[in-house]
Amino acid sequence: MNFFAMAIIALMLSFPGAAGAEWYKGNTHSHTINSDGDSSPDIVARWYKEQRYNFVVITDHNYNTDVRGLNALLAAPGKFLVVAGEEVTDRFKLSEERTLPLHVNAIATDQSRGARTIGPSGGGSVGEVLQRDVDSIRAAGATPQLNHPNFRWAVDVDAMHRLRNYALFEVWNTSTNCNNLGGGGYPGTEALWDSVLTRAKTVYGVASDDAHQFKDWGPEYSNPGGGFVWVKADTLEAGAIAAALDRGDFYSSTGLRLERLEISSRRILIESELNGQTRHRVTFIGRGGRVLYQTDDNPAVYEIKGNELYVRAKVVDSNGRVAWTQPVFVE
């Protein structure tokens, strides 16, 4: 099914204003030669357009890449858009031996009066650095996304829980060294997510590329295409996309596409697009990361009981591709 057909599939969500909205596929994290990527912004944007993404956010380290000229060339109404952004790239020196990287994406920065870099704010602790960066991103009118918490094991559950004024974090970062799955005594990003949700704090999981290499391809490179979001938004416009992400009106994926996603306070229905002999397994997860229900049915339906605190779903297909839906909190 192509993305035009995907876009018109009926969706029932519990939030108002969903009528008329459409699904848009995008990547919220990519680099160019304006930081440590290997390709020009033009090549990067064209790659995503040719792969039939609807949007890509250019997020160079401490550099606000100007996307206005790119959009003059490449934007197509309702089909493709380059979204301005920046990876606010900060750090905290824990000791002489250990400096923690603290990176927060700014999504949909305002370039109406030029491309102005936000840059790192610094601070006296991990929490202060992250908070000042999130706040400066908000002050610039952009939407923050806490990147790769497990990159050099920098951001733990307490930091994620204390941080205010953000909703997005990377549950999946496709680049080569972000330790999504955890290990060596550190929890994976999904376990971090459940720990934060169990403390009744709403955060939404993003899958992103963090693409750096568009010329050389292979397992040692951070190539594009491995992690993306499907966003339900009224229009393909930078502000609308960022607002929909910030509200949790999206799901994340490493390649699995959903045909139907119905989330209400009473039940969750998930139907995967499964081609040929591909099958899936859907796990519904609640308080403490506990499995509430697991099924191979397609569609998969979970009736909310009321005592789960929250419910989110993880879909894994028989070829290892994953989709994550956003948590719904139960009254």
Residues near Zn ion (CB under 5 A) are 87, 103, 147, 210
Q: How far is CA 27 from the centre of its chain?
A: 8
Instruction: Tell me whether residue 143 or residue 147 sits nearer to Zn ion (CB atom).
Output: 147
The DSSP H or E segment spanning 42 is helix 41-50
Rounded to a whole number of angstroms, the minimum distance from the CB of residue 235 to Zn ion is 27
Rounded to a whole number of angstroms, the minimum distance from the CB of residue 173 to Zn ion is 8
Rounded to a whole number of angstroms, the minimum distance from the CB of residue 112 to Zn ion is 25
Rounded to a whole number of angstroms, the minimum distance from the CB of residue 121 to Zn ion is 16
For residue 256, the SS3 value is coil
Q: Are strands 280-286 and 290-295 parallel, antiparallel or unpaired?
A: antiparallel
Shortest Cβ contact with Zn ion: which residue? 103
Cα atoms in the Cβ-side hemisphere of radius 13 Å centred on 161: 11
Mention every residue, 6+ apart, whose C-beta is less than 8 A from residue 297: 282
308 is written with which tokens?
């789960």
Instruction: Tell me whether residue 87 or residue 133 sits nearer to Zn ion (CB atom).
Output: 87
Rounded to a whole number of angstroms, the minimum distance from the CB of residue 200 to Zn ion is 28
Instruction: Tell me whether residue 85 or residue 127 sits nearer to Zn ion (CB atom).
Output: 85
Rounded to a whole number of angstroms, the minimum distance from the CB of residue 210 to Zn ion is 4
The letter for the amino acid at 188 is G
Q: Dmax of the chain from CA atoms?
A: 55
Instruction: Tell me whether residue 210 or residue 308 sits nearer to Zn ion (CB atom).
Output: 210
Cα atoms in the Cβ-side hemisphere of radius 13 Å centred on 39: 20
Instruction: Tell me whether residue 224 or residue 327 sits nearer to Zn ion (CB atom).
Output: 224
Rounded to a whole number of angstroms, the minimum distance from the CB of residue 71 to Zn ion is 21
Residue 25 burial class via C-beta count within 10 angstroms: exposed 0-12, middle 13-18, buried 19 and up: buried
Q: Are strands 267-272 and 22-27 parallel, antiparallel or unpaired?
A: unpaired
Instruction: Tell me whether residue 103 or residue 280 sits nearer to Zn ion (CB atom).
Output: 103
Between CA 283 and CA 3, with CA 259 as vertex, the angle to 5 degrees is 135
Instruction: Tell me whether residue 64 or residue 147 sits nearer to Zn ion (CB atom).
Output: 147
